[in-house]
Structure 1
Amino acid sequence: MSVLFMNAGNMSLPIVKLAFGDAGLDRALVFFALIALLVATFGVYIAARGNQGGMASLKAVAVQPIAYAATAGLALNVLDVSLPELVLRPTELLANAAFPAMLLVLGGTLVGLRTIHEWKMVTVATALRLWVGMGIGFLLLKFLGVDELTRNVLLVQASAPTAVIVIVLATEFNARPAMATGVVVVSTILCMPTLTILLAVLTG
């Protein structure tokens, strides 16, 4: 999980908006919704599978509301459906609370983290998430032949650190939460020079 799921939301979205404007943000939001859907399905299954059987893991996926919300959001986006203000406003308020809530989870986990556990695994996972992920993303986007703006946006998101939601899932299903926290912390710190250089190249 620490390698597969990048922080495509609360870290990537502001960076993309700053670097590529609203057009870039629109593309980033679609990718973020796809990642959220994957986390709520495949990510939950992986986390639960470590301590539960196959059927119990599938049941854990089935009760995740984010899977249904992400699917509905993607469908509305594809169909270009505009929600009425009565629905949109409270939805936006709840959405705005999601990122601070995840940061609180990270902070709460860090309180009990006196040292980084499993340094070898944390190092490997961080390298895979940041640099191998960026390389694979570049090759895949080149193969797909997407336009320049889409390529740049997705490269930034592919180079993002491990998502905070990984800690939430690891804690909920007792799937090595200390290691997951270590990867989130280390990858977040190390992504700063990586993203700085990448943005300089993409916008230069």
Structure 2
Amino acid sequence: MKSVDLAGGAAVPVMLVILGIELAHAKMESDRTVIGLATFAKLVLTALVAFPLAAIMQLQGVARAVCIIEASMPTAVMASIVAVEFDARPKLVTGIVFASTVFSVITLTVLLGILQ
């Protein structure tokens, strides 16, 4: 059982190393528009969709805030790993993961201020 725990503990660091390798090889100049649109959609549009959905589901308080914040989180590193595995434009996906993570500092701060 200890070997399974050891392998499981290595999963996140290995994913981050793969993300770093992809970022080192990424040339984001050609895909700036796509990366910008995807980042905007993930960080802003999902929040705008989450507000009315939370109202429709009659969520209030912490449950409402969690729903909206979770919808507005940046693209997960796992998307980059899947893109590498299936050769589905991994450099583009890695750029989106990177950009959405960087800009989420701003959008999540604003969102937390709105939800207070």
Please report the TM-score for the alignment, with normalisation by the length of structure 1.
0.51
The structure-2 alpha-carbon separation of the partners of 1:120 and 1:199, relative to structure 1 and needing over 3 Å to count, comes to same
TM-superposed CA distance for 1:117, in Å, is: 3.8
Amino acid at match of 2:22: T
State the Cα deviation string for residues 24-79 of structure 1 (Å, max 9, x = none). Answer: xxxxxxxxxxxxxxxxxxxxxxxxxxxxxxxxxxxxxxxxxxxxxxxxxxxxxxxx
| C-alpha distance in structure 2 between counterparts of 1:146 and 1:158, whole Å | 14
Residues 1:169 and 2:82 aligned together:
yes
Deviates more, 1:121-130 or 1:94-103: 94-103
In structure 2, C-alpha distance between the alignment counterparts of 1:196 and 1:91, rounded to whole Å: 37
Q: Does 1:183 align with 2:72?
A: no
Taking only the aligned residue pairs, the percentage that are identical comes to 34
- TM-score (ref. length: structure 2): 0.84
Aligned partner of 2:56 in structure 1 is: 143
How many Å apart are 1:92 and its aligned residue?
6.3
Does residue 98 in structure 1 map to residue 25 in structure 2? no
Q: After TM superposition, where is structure 1 displaced by more than 4 Å over at least 4 residues in a row? A: 89-96
Aligned to 1:105, the other structure's residue is in SS state helix
- The answer to whether the 8 A contact 1:130-1:161 is kept is yes
Q: Matches of 2:58 and 2:34 in 1, distance apart?
A: 34
Give runs of aligned pairs for residues 2-21 of structure 1, distance below 5 A.
Answer: none
Q: Structure 2: how far apart are the matches of 1:148 and 1:190? A: 26
CA contact (8 A) 1:116 1:178 kept: no
Deviates most, 109-118 or 160-169: 109-118
User: How many residue pairs are counted as aligned between the two chains?
Assistant: 116
